[in-house]
Chain A
Amino acid sequence: MSHPTTPIHRAPLSQQHRRVIPTTSPDAIGAQVTVTINGVEAKVPFGATILEAARSVGVQIPTLCDHPDLNVAGVCRMCVVEVEGQRLLQPACTFPVVNQMKVNTHTRKVRQARRHVLQLLLSEHFGECTSCVRNGNCELQSLAEEYGINDFAFGHPEEPLVAEDHSSYSVMRDMNKCIRCRRCVRTCIDIQEVGVLEAIGRSDRVSIETYEDRPLGSVVCINCGQCVNRCPVGALYAKDETDAVWAAIDDPEKHVVIQTAPAPRSAMGELFGLEPGTPVTFEMNTALRRAGFDHVFDTNFSADLTIMEEGTELILRLYKALVLGHKDVALPQFTSCSPGWVKFLEHFYPEYLPNASSAKSPQQMFGALIKTYYAEKLGLDPGNIVSVALMPCSAKKFECNRPEMHDSGYQDVDYGLTTRELGKMFKEAGLHVPSLPKSDFDDPFGTATGSGVIFGATGGVMESALRTVIELVTGEKVESIYDHGDIVPVRGFDGVRYAEITVPKVGPVPEILAHLVPDWEWLNGATLKVAVAHGTANAKKVMDDIKAGGKFSECHFIEFMACPGGCLGGGGQPIPTNAAIRAARAKAIYAEDHAYSVRKSYENPAVARTYAEFLTDGPGGHKAHKLLHTEYTARGRHIPQE
């Protein structure tokens, strides 16, 4: 009899779910149970939590450590309720409904317990509310207001006790505000399988720490900021660079430009009270100009450029491997536009760095062109250009500070602002984005395509690449193969998706690629195997499969995004986040795609112009390589001593 060895998973096996299934007996699963909540009957599936049952009949129960994206924890005890016949209060977030129990959610005992929990949390939470980054969007603050906190019965720290950790380019830590709900711990391991954060110590000495409590900037953190999006208070926040951007705007010598990525535009409205999924792309352009930015560009332009470069690279890799028989060609090719994913790869799978596309991310391609092509075109001194990027991402801050990102001769992108930071700037400038008139992006990069837009959703880079590759290879409109050109098999929110795309016929090699391949015959009837993964826990599944020689090792091209849902679920996006919010943002992004008349990257006239005027040796050419491609650093998991 052999017994399994312990799997390395942080959450207890029995609780690696949103729901705690209270039995292994299959007959009960799926049955309906009636539960009485405050005298109101609710019918729920067997094993639903009390919290779900209460919500189904409109009863609110406060939660704090619970988060819909994470495994259950049941540690804060904010959601305790009284179950008739039980001496103990039970946590609604984990307690399963298995029989006709009667639950009361606001008895004296319950109200008292909730107040005590809050008073205890406030006794260690350094609450400088009015100067806190989460002022007005803090779960502890809201709960204190809702649940009758009118004193600090158990004390309240007046001064911070420990220094903040500002070592990271992306994620800041202020443990004086931490309430030990461990959402960050669970995020980092459950969603990302990075596991940078862990609870250390016992009792009131518990703290959330990195490996040997080293600064976050020196450990294997991938800067994705997913922990920031799930922190209920201001203990974790993205680095704030708004003052530096304001300073640049205030400086008359500086020419300040901003590129805006698609994902923030689908979410910015949330910061102004709009429903998730209400795009404010063109209102935001007006707001940016009124805030003082000299020019407003669309990152979709460089997303299209990324497709050209990355697509060319893929075609070349395939050509070398399949036709020329080169043995050293790294396949599958991995996308490299998500800086969180790139750092994940550098730390955990450095031996696969050759598989990562050398094409820079859209942010960095744009950055390199702004301080070269654009500066030349407008006769500006690139040293006076301040290049800002609006990104849904905290890892973009790290990315623009990578030492290799200086191909223009300057730091290519000076500041990566998150959606939240820019929203804050707008508010400071009195710009209520939804009520502003619409305006377009600025030339010379103004026109974008839908392909660039869908970069914001998981599967979007893959779909864009496929649209362009299919048309370039077949000479046919992609719409003749897929309805509306929507390549549905790579869409959706499944953590890992696999698709096979057959090349039905081939056409002549278009001029833009004529210097690279003589013909497409070698692709006639070929099946392109592709995959998409989002959230690095899913990326890990794919990578481990590749290592083991499984089906993903047979793929030609794989899109990886560090964040759940892709960029629209990025760590720089408005808080809160959950599956419904991400789905609404995705809907906005795909709607914007449909609204574009040009939906294929290679048809983008600004891209064509850039190759004609500036990157004259074409995609994959020498000049493109100097400015638009990069290299990676094998970091490994070893954390050197400071």
Chain B
Amino acid sequence: MSAQTIDSQGNALTYATIERDAGLRAALDMTRPDIIDAVSQSGLKGRGGAGFPTGMKWNFCAAEKGDLKYIICNADEGEPGTFKDRVILSRFADLVLEGMTIGGRAIGATLGIVYLRAEYTYLRPHLNEVIKERRKRGVLGTSIMGVEGFDFDIIVAMGAGAYVCGEETALIESLEGFRGEPRNRPPFPAVAGLLNNPTVVNNVETLASVAAIFAKGVDWFKAFGTDKSTGYKLFSVSGDCEKPGVYEFPWGITVAALLEEVGGEGAKAVQIGGASGVCVPAREFARRLAFEDIPTGGSVMVIGPQRDMLDVAENFLEFFVEESCGQCTPCRLGNPQMLKAVKLLKEGACPPKFLADVKALGQTMMVASKCGLGQTSPSAFLSILEHFGDEIHDRAPSA
């Protein structure tokens, strides 16, 4: 199984040292506001890429009135070059489900849903097995761990293969049985999410971190990372390096240090954050992976010196032209224009006016698209244009 191949590469993961159920036990000794407060104190930010403070998200949802609330685990890991959630779900599913249970307790949800990407269907039996076992152990179901009135269960729901369903509102649409397309925000899911009820959507890794924070303590967690980016992070490293795999590093590691660990020295650029991320050129390898410098959901693609940067841009844009939900104009029709420009550049035949128009269009897409997909899809191409202008513009027109 491919997950095991990946699993065997990388470094030792802290999650392997977290005692099962310890976090939940600790959380159930606390009041609900104190649970949320602890998450806020830990500084935990969303591990899916957007980096929204988890405690704040929980707080919004907890403040909403309503008997029905939901906590959803976003396991629609679709960002190109990201495979760390797959490892977490394979090896530490208990921690993820435990994090959901703690979140459910905090916001007052009675149901948790794992939204699992279609390509991870092979993980479903495993997750269901872990859920069943947790019910048997009394850490899911009614009166969890003997706490009267704390009823919470988890189910697994399947995605159907659309990248955009990783966007939380598209995910909810998909869960409701509709075409997976992002909603207008506000209202945010914390106010009106699944079936119009207050809903928290957290990434797989975020939820596993929650379990770890409660098992080991806020201070333990905050000892990792930087002031603004606390804790540690899993990185999915792929591309032109000797040891691709899933790595755990504290936030704040420099690109150069990471490349050294994975055998990627000599790279001419690193694409961080997947197709929707940014392309960092070698001269900026002293920059840090942290919310305050280069924020990321964990995808690190090493680009070796032999690569044509336009091939890289073309590859990403082909992906977005495939995966845009096609709802809003800038993303639906903007990405094909970006791709067209790349193809023309590759032929050395892009008229300067068209290139200028497309660059300006990229700026519009980043501010006027409806969701994160269109808001980020031009960034790789734009940063490649910015950093590798010589390589791009010096090529001769093809015959």
Say how far B79's CB is from chain A's closest CB, in angstroms: 17
User: Which one of A8, A94, A116, A180 lies within 8 Å of B361 (CB-CB)?
Assistant: A116
What's the Cα separation between A39 and B368 when bound, in Å?
22
Say how far A411's CB is from chain B's closest CB, in angstroms: 42
Closest to B339 in A: A204
- Contact: B333 with A154, CB < 8 Å? yes
What's the Cα separation between A55 and B371 when bound, in Å?
26
What's the Cα separation between A108 and B328 when bound, in Å?
21
- Whether a CB of chain B sits under 8 angstroms from the CB of A109 is yes
What's the Cα separation between A6 and B320 when bound, in Å?
30
- Contact: A3 with B68, CB < 8 Å? yes
- Contact: B375 with A203, CB < 8 Å? no
- Contact: A20 with B187, CB < 8 Å? yes
- Contact: B367 with A13, CB < 8 Å? no
Contacts of B111 in A (CB 8 A): 1, 3
Say how far B358's CB is from chain A's closest CB, in angstroms: 8
Say how far A108's CB is from chain B's closest CB, in angstroms: 11
- The answer to whether A203 and B332 touch (CB under 8 A), given A10-B178, A14-B187, A120-B337, is yes
- Whether a CB of chain A sits under 8 angstroms from the CB of B236 is no
Proximity bits, A1-30, B CB within 8 Å = 1, else 0: 101101110101111000011111100000
What's the Cα separation between A109 and B363 when bound, in Å?
9
- Whether a CB of chain A sits under 8 angstroms from the CB of B228 is no
- Whether a CB of chain A sits under 8 angstroms from the CB of B196 is yes
What's the Cα separation between A112 and B183 when bound, in Å?
24
- The answer to whether A13 and B192 touch (CB under 8 A), given A1-B151, A120-B333, A120-B334, is yes
Contacts of A94 in B (CB 8 A): 184
- Contact: A117 with B329, CB < 8 Å? yes
Proximity bits, B139-151, A CB within 8 Å = 1, else 0: 0000000000001
What's the Cα separation between A408 and B361 when bound, in Å?
63
Say how far B111's CB is from chain A's closest CB, in angstroms: 6
Contacts of B361 in A (CB 8 A): 116, 120, 154
Say how far B264's CB is from chain A's closest CB, in angstroms: 32
Say how far B355's CB is from chain A's closest CB, in angstroms: 11
What's the Cα separation between A7 and B363 when bound, in Å?
39
- Contact: B329 with A12, CB < 8 Å? no
- Contact: B322 with A22, CB < 8 Å? no
Which of A10, A121, A180, A204 is packed against the most chain B CB atoms within 10 Å? A204
- Whether a CB of chain A sits under 8 angstroms from the CB of B364 is yes
Interface size bracket, A side: 35 or more
- Contact: B66 with A24, CB < 8 Å? yes
Proximity bits, B146-168, A CB within 8 Å = 1, else 0: 00000100000000001000000
- Whether a CB of chain A sits under 8 angstroms from the CB of B176 is yes
- Contact: B323 with A203, CB < 8 Å? yes
- Whether a CB of chain B sits under 8 angstroms from the CB of A448 is no
- Whether a CB of chain A sits under 8 angstroms from the CB of B80 is no
What's the Cα separation between A153 and B357 when bound, in Å?
7
- Contact: B336 with A203, CB < 8 Å? yes
What's the Cα separation between A72 and B367 when bound, in Å?
20
- Whether a CB of chain A sits under 8 angstroms from the CB of B42 is no
What's the Cα separation between A198 and B327 when bound, in Å?
12
Contacts of B337 in A (CB 8 A): 120, 123, 154
Closest to B186 in A: A22
- Contact: B326 with A14, CB < 8 Å? no
- Contact: A199 with B179, CB < 8 Å? yes
- Whether a CB of chain B sits under 8 angstroms from the CB of A163 is no
- Contact: A121 with B326, CB < 8 Å? no
- Contact: B368 with A77, CB < 8 Å? yes
- Contact: B360 with A116, CB < 8 Å? yes
- The answer to whether A12 and B330 touch (CB under 8 A), given A25-B65, A154-B337, is no
Interface residues of A in 172-204 (CB under 8 A from B): 180, 198-199, 201-204
- Whether a CB of chain B sits under 8 angstroms from the CB of A113 is yes
One of A85-93, A379-387, A456-464 at the interface: A85-93
- The answer to whether A120 and B196 touch (CB under 8 A), given A14-B183, A20-B186, is no
- The answer to whether A180 and B367 touch (CB under 8 A), given A14-B192, A154-B337, A203-B323, is no
- Contact: A76 with B110, CB < 8 Å? no
Interface residues of A in 297-345 (CB under 8 A from B): none
Contacts of A120 in B (CB 8 A): 329-330, 332-334, 337, 361
- The answer to whether A80 and B183 touch (CB under 8 A), given A154-B357, A203-B326, is no
- Whether a CB of chain B sits under 8 angstroms from the CB of A74 is yes
Interface residues of B in 94-125 (CB under 8 A from A): 110-111
Proximity bits, B184-205, A CB within 8 Å = 1, else 0: 1011000111011010000000
- Whether a CB of chain B sits under 8 angstroms from the CB of A96 is yes
- Contact: A12 with B368, CB < 8 Å? no
- Whether a CB of chain B sits under 8 angstroms from the CB of A484 is no
- Whether a CB of chain A sits under 8 angstroms from the CB of B352 is no
- Contact: A202 with B326, CB < 8 Å? yes
What's the Cα separation between A80 and B363 when bound, in Å?
14
Contacts of A124 in B (CB 8 A): 333
- Contact: A22 with B151, CB < 8 Å? no
- The answer to whether A12 and B323 touch (CB under 8 A), given A23-B187, A87-B367, A203-B332, is no
Q: Which 8 A-B pairs have the closest CB atoms?
A: A206-B326, A14-B192, A120-B333, A13-B196, A203-B324, A22-B186, A94-B184, A116-B364
Interface residues of A (CB under 8 A from B): 1, 3-4, 6-8, 10, 12-15, 20-25, 72, 74-78, 80, 87-89, 91, 94-96, 98, 109, 112-113, 116-117, 120-121, 123-124, 153-154, 180, 198-199, 201-206
Q: Contacts A180-B326, A206-B326 given; 14 further ones with Cβ under 8 A?
A: A12-B173, A14-B192, A20-B184, A24-B192, A72-B184, A76-B329, A88-B367, A112-B360, A113-B367, A113-B368, A116-B334, A120-B333, A124-B333, A205-B326
Selected A-B contacts with CB under 8 Å, 10 pairs: A3-B68, A3-B195, A12-B178, A24-B65, A74-B184, A75-B327, A91-B184, A91-B370, A113-B364, A120-B334
